[in-house]
Structure 1
Amino acid sequence: MSRATVRTAALDGWDGILAGRTTTALAIPERPAPCANPCEATIMAPASSMPLAEFVRFSEDVVRETRDVAIPWLAGVHYDLASLGPIGSAVNSAGKVGTALRRLVDYFALLQDCTDIRLEREDDMASVSYRILDPDIWPRHHDAMFSLGIIGQIIRRGTRGAWDKIEFAFEAESHEMRGDIGKVLRAPCTFGADSNQIRFPAQMLDLALPQVQGPDADIRGLSGEIVAQRRRTPLVERLAQVVFRDLNTHAIEQERIAREIGMSSRTMRRKLAEEGSSFQQVLDECRMRQAVFEFRTRPDLSIAQIALRLGYAEHSNFTRAFHRWSGISPHAWRARLNQTAH
């Protein structure tokens, strides 16, 4: 998987919030010059990007240095959506909360790749979940506060500031978040979840949003840009992101994934071969990298439980696969990881 990136516009507004909150030399990452790649779609002006891991590390450093867990949340809640260009215009021009959230989710891949973000509704509750799919980017606790802050901003616009019956869930454990998250969010929180999530009454989706002045939204252009981006992305990358998304939650079935990507399984196998790979190679690599992630983040789980989460019916099969990939057993890898941590 290639290096995940995020638009440097994600850094907008942090300097104002950080002002006066730290005496250390906490620096906001430098922004590269805008990309002048001629293959960029016309609707999205060339924009600079940075490694997603760098932005995540920055958000972690902010909380560690300031000892203020509220900062990423405040950066998201007060974020100027106009900084997102055409996507911000699409969100700001939405007439209802649900429409604004749907547009943010649908076009999020143009802002940050290698991320699973979803808007779902179940009975009388709705939710937006956010999760970075690259298992090598960890810890990734406080960037979630920032992203959920932007989502919370949209909901608050519709409720005119009311904040009732809102719930949060986070991938990280509570002690890893360096503060009283529930007090900051003024809402119940759970930890150790499979994804970062904000849940709210589904009726809020129908709340009207106040009008925000700005450029007209080009929904058709954004949709075309999403299609163009998918076409530019190598099939191995697209397949890996689907596998990382579905590990722990769905059976990894070649036919189903091929349909989702938009081709037959036969065509997918042929195109993967042209890229020098195969479905099984991608699946094995994703499983092994996810296994290391599970070792780091879920020390309470046994090797057998982790094998089951990765889709192995027998943990012995997982042990053999992991040994082929790493040269040592899962038990030895976990022991080495524990020694490093201490």
Structure 2
Amino acid sequence: MSHARVRTAALDGWAGLLADKSSTAMSLPSPAYRRDPVPSGNPMPTAANSMPLVDFVRFSEDVVRQTRDVAIPWLAGVHYDLASLGPIGTAINSAGKVGTALRRMVDYFALLQDCTDIRLEREDDMASVSYRILDPDIWPRHHDAMFSLGIIGQIIRRGTRGAWEKVEFAFEAESHEMRGDIGKVLRASCTFGADSNQIRFPAQMLDLALPPTQGPQADLRQLSNEMVAQRRNTSLVERLAQVVYRDLNTQGIEQERIAREIGMSSRTMRRKLAEEGSSFQQVLDECRMRQAVFEFRTRPDLSIAQIALRLGYAEHSNFTRAFHRWSGASPQAWRANLASTAH
């Protein structure tokens, strides 16, 4: 996951918002990343049209830290030109309803950014879109979330014609970590310390019509083919790790279920993992340990036993032994050292 990438098109629109902040000497990342014209063909991230996700996230954090303006990432998302996303933007812009546009955004998001869990869900009379970077080494990532939810908010606003009643937000970060009054910026109710970043809204908004747009129609079959090609070109270890990170804290990590989701039998998955020099247990153990460090960093109020439970251990003593084998230190010692270096 250290190689997670995002399309450099994500940088579009930020320069104008930073123009009035010249005293901070804030600028976009290296021009080496700006080789990405508006894409019109293959939308898959490549070395020429993408940048490390960690660099983009760091950039969004630096923007707020240096400008002291927490609204910039949100505004960058709300006013983002979806045409910059090429065929994916076309698919979103040509959708007739809010729900269709959001579904296309979610379905093809992996072509824009790696190692991310993004979901559109509906429960009773409320709908939600949640967004979370899966790589536990990328933190803080508070304002990347503001930017991404801003794009989603833009789509919803198109259907509501600007109405914003009953929309709610949740963020992974604690309120004091986001450097400003987020509720005031969003003009909505916000909660913090959640497991994912989320925008919730009345489900009836999914059926709202979007204003018609001029331009080409979406080639959804081509986008689906690109998704298949991307999965084929991603190692099984990487695909498995993303599912494990996605499901930790939410449901049991079952080998049979995950194999079916990936599209193979558990026997075939074990064989292919062995061909890559790994195993299901090795991937699971590595994900758990890296996620444990993430939990230490982001949830200092949780006990070791609570963290062990979140990681799927029935007994926290099993977690303690596994963590010691992985790191050479106990979870308590690691957490204490992390806290001391943070101050």
- The correspondence of residues 77-226 of structure 1 with structure 2, limited to 5 A, is 77-226=78-227
* Aligned equivalent of 1:76: 77
Which secondary structure does the structure 2 equivalent of 1:203 belong to?
helix
* Contact kept? 2:241, 2:284, Cα under 8 Å: yes
Which secondary structure does the structure 1 equivalent of 2:84 belong to?
helix
RMSD between superposed Cα atoms in Å: 1.5
TM score, norm. by length of structure 2: 0.96
* Contact kept? 1:116, 1:130, Cα under 8 Å: yes
Task: Tell me how far apart the structure 2 counterparts of residues 15 and 32 of structure 1 sit (CA, whole Å).
Answer: 14
* Aligned equivalent of 1:44: 43
Which secondary structure does the structure 1 equivalent of 2:6 belong to?
strand
Structure 1 residue 3, shift from structure 2 partner: 1.1
Which deviations, in whole Å up to 9, do the C-alpha atoms of 1:239-261 show, x marking residues without a partner?
00000000000100000000000
Gaps of 5+ in 1: 36-40
Which secondary structure does the structure 2 equivalent of 1:21 belong to?
helix
* Aligned equivalent of 2:29: 29
The ranges of structure 1 where at least 4 consecutive aligned residues each deviate by more than 6 angstroms after the TM superposition are none
- The correspondence of residues 234-313 of structure 1 with structure 2, limited to 5 A, is 234-313=235-314
Which deviations, in whole Å up to 9, do the C-alpha atoms of 1:119-178 show, x marking residues without a partner?
000000000000000000000000000000000000000011111100000000000000
* Contact kept? 2:168, 2:188, Cα under 8 Å: yes
Which secondary structure does the structure 2 equivalent of 1:28 belong to?
coil
Structure 1 residue 52, shift from structure 2 partner: 0.4
Structure 1 residue 24, shift from structure 2 partner: 1.8
Task: Tell me how far apart the structure 2 counterparts of residues 89 and 230 of structure 1 sit (CA, whole Å).
Answer: 22
Number of positions where the alignment pairs a residue of Structure 1 with one of Structure 2: 338
Structure 1 residue 294, shift from structure 2 partner: 0.2
- The correspondence of residues 313-328 of structure 1 with structure 2, limited to 5 A, is 313-328=314-329
* Contact kept? 1:124, 1:202, Cα under 8 Å: yes
Task: Tell me how far apart the structure 2 counterparts of residues 309 and 110 of structure 1 sit (CA, whole Å).
Answer: 30
Percent identity over paired residues: 85
* Aligned equivalent of 1:8: 8
Structure 1 residue 211, shift from structure 2 partner: 1.4
* Contact kept? 1:118, 1:129, Cα under 8 Å: yes
Whichever residue aligns with residue 17 of structure 2, its letter is I
Which secondary structure does the structure 1 equivalent of 2:199 belong to?
strand
Task: Tell me how far apart the structure 1 counterparts of residues 219 and 87 of structure 2 sit (CA, whole Å).
Answer: 7
Task: Tell me how far apart the structure 1 counterparts of residues 42 and 340 of structure 2 sit (CA, whole Å).
Answer: 50
Which of 42-51 and 10-19 deviates more? 42-51
Structure 1 residue 2, shift from structure 2 partner: 4.2
Structure 1 residue 32, shift from structure 2 partner: 3.1
1:281/1:137 CA distance change after superposition, 3 Å: same
Task: Tell me how far apart the structure 2 counterparts of residues 184 and 277 of structure 1 sit (CA, whole Å).
Answer: 46
Which secondary structure does the structure 2 equivalent of 1:299 belong to?
coil
Which deviations, in whole Å up to 9, do the C-alpha atoms of 1:286-313 show, x marking residues without a partner?
0000000000000000001000000000
Task: Tell me how far apart the structure 2 counterparts of residues 147 and 99 of structure 1 sit (CA, whole Å).
Answer: 18
Whichever residue aligns with residue 287 of structure 1, its letter is R
Which deviations, in whole Å up to 9, do the C-alpha atoms of 1:161-214 show, x marking residues without a partner?
111100000000000000000000000000000000000000000000011222
Structure 1 residue 216, shift from structure 2 partner: 2.0
